[in-house]
Amino acid sequence: MHRIRVCLSALGCAVVFASPASAGEIHFRVKDAGSATFKATAQARQFGADASAELVKRAAEQYGITLDGSDVSVIPLQRLAEAVSKDLRANQNPADQAEQRRKWIELFAGYYGQLFVARHGAHWGKTDWLSADDERALGFPRSRGVMLPTGQMRTAFSHRSDLCGWYLIDLAVEEDTPIAPEIKACSEQGWIKSAAELELEAVRAAERKAAAEAEAQARLTSRTNSEAQQGLSRAMLAVESMFRKYKVRAPARVVVSFTIAPSGEVTEAHVVSSDASDSRVEVDILAMLRSMHFEARDVPVYVTPGFAVTYKEH
């Protein structure tokens, strides 16, 4: 099974994180991934050992946080990620901030990966899964799965992901692995928010509530832009296939407007503007719009504003 999130006393840790001597012999085809393979490498093992040791040192010296190589050390690892992220946001030099972020991501990836190497049978190596070699992957010979710790940590520092929660998911995949209740509690707590973040969260929640109440009030006497947009959103997969059908070059943008009768039928549909390379896609989009049907409501005829249908490269 693939594991990726597509898409963060040093002497004691050195002993805990010792890799098996036969690691270089590990080579397998990744389960359910076509021809993708994983192969253990000395280079990846060295990265994991060095990055992990460096993170243990920095955590202790800069933040007073101890990482002891145990499963439950993912809890202080989570708190370390919070502290590091706070310091990164305070860095006013964009270039330096980006470089520091890159380095921290590598160190966190090394430590997180080493937990699975030392305690759960993983091996450092490289894989050609996801179409490009990743020289710092983890392979699990028993399940023939792979994990990309650097990608996980990059996501963690970009979206404040819950490392304890990820660890629970990764542990659960390995059968008969006991899970410490402390890690579950850490996952339930999630990323600890500052007072300012909690205040902003409350403000945004109040804004969402006010918007929902305004939408409900507006729907009593008319259709709304949100209602029409939701209907169009449900049809977007079909629209995307139309662009592919006519080999329209991406990016492309077609702005449309349509009229909804009280019965819920779409009685008119028009292209407001378009930069699509094939006009046939516009014809298909209009036909799709005219086939849409909304809830019948005792409200006036509603003409939508221009909605942009955008086709982007993936």
- Check whether residue 148 and residue 257 sit in a common domain: no
DSSP 143-159: TTEEE-HHHHHHHHHHH
- Check whether residue 91 and residue 183 sit in a common domain: yes
Cα 2 to Cα 120, 127, 169, distances in angstroms? 15, 12, 12
The yes-or-no verdict on residue 260 having pLDDT over 50 is: yes
The contacts of residue 247 (CB under 8 Å, 6+ apart) are: 278
Q: Would residue 63 count as lying in a domain?
A: yes
pLDDT score at 241: 86
Report whether 160 contacts 85 (CB < 8 A).
yes
Provide, rounded to the nearest whole percent, the portion of the chain with pLDDT above 90. 46
Write down which residue in 175, 192, 209 finishes a domain. 192
- Check whether residue 95 and residue 16 sit in a common domain: yes
- Check whether residue 91 and residue 234 sit in a common domain: no
The CATH number for 304's domain is: 3.30.2420
Three-state SS for 251? Answer: coil
The yes-or-no verdict on residue 179 having pLDDT over 80 is: no
Q: Would residue 2 count as lying in a domain?
A: no
pLDDT score at 314: 52
Query: CA angle 28-33-36, nearest 5°?
Result: 50
Distance CA 74, CA 165 (A): 10
Alpha carbon 118 to chain centroid distance? Answer: 26
Give the predicted TM-score (pTM) of the model: 0.58
Q: Would residue 219 count as lying in a domain?
A: no
Confidence of residue 170 (pLDDT cuts 50, 70, 90): confident
User: What are the beta bridge partners of residue 252?
Assistant: 311
The yes-or-no verdict on residue 190 having pLDDT over 90 is: no
User: What number is the average pLDDT over the span 216-228?
Assistant: 91
pLDDT score at 268: 94
Instruction: Supply the mean pLDDT for the chain.
Output: 84
Q: Would residue 79 count as lying in a domain?
A: yes
CB-based burial label for 303 (10 Å; 0-12, 13-18, 19+): middle
Q: Which is more confident, 2 or 33?
A: 33
Write down which residue in 192, 208, 241 finishes a domain. 192
- Check whether residue 20 and residue 73 sit in a common domain: yes
- Check whether residue 176 and residue 240 sit in a common domain: no
Which of 128-137, 166-175, 275-284 is the least confident region?
Answer: 166-175
Report whether 272 contacts 257 (CB < 8 A).
yes
| pLDDT tens string 10-35 | 323 333 344 444 555 888 988 887 78
Q: Would residue 241 count as lying in a domain?
A: yes
- Check whether residue 56 and residue 118 sit in a common domain: yes
- Check whether residue 65 and residue 126 sit in a common domain: yes
Q: State the number of CA atoms in the 13 A half-sphere of 239 facing the CB.
A: 24
- Check whether residue 183 and residue 233 sit in a common domain: no
Distance CA 226, CA 260 (A): 13
- Check whether residue 153 and residue 295 sit in a common domain: no
Number of structural domains found in the chain: 2
Q: Could you tell me the residue range of the domain that residue 98 belongs to?
A: 10-192
- Check whether residue 237 and residue 127 sit in a common domain: no
Confidence of residue 256 (pLDDT cuts 50, 70, 90): very high
| pLDDT tens string 74-133 | 999 999 998 998 899 888 898 999 999 999 999 999 999 999 999 888 999 999 887 666
| Sequence-ordered alpha helix ranges (H) in 161-254 | 163-173, 181-189, 195-218, 225-234, 236-245
- Check whether residue 229 and residue 169 sit in a common domain: no
Q: Would residue 35 count as lying in a domain?
A: yes
- Which pair of tokens denotes residue 190? 């999630």
| Sequence-ordered alpha helix ranges (H) in 246-295 | 280-291
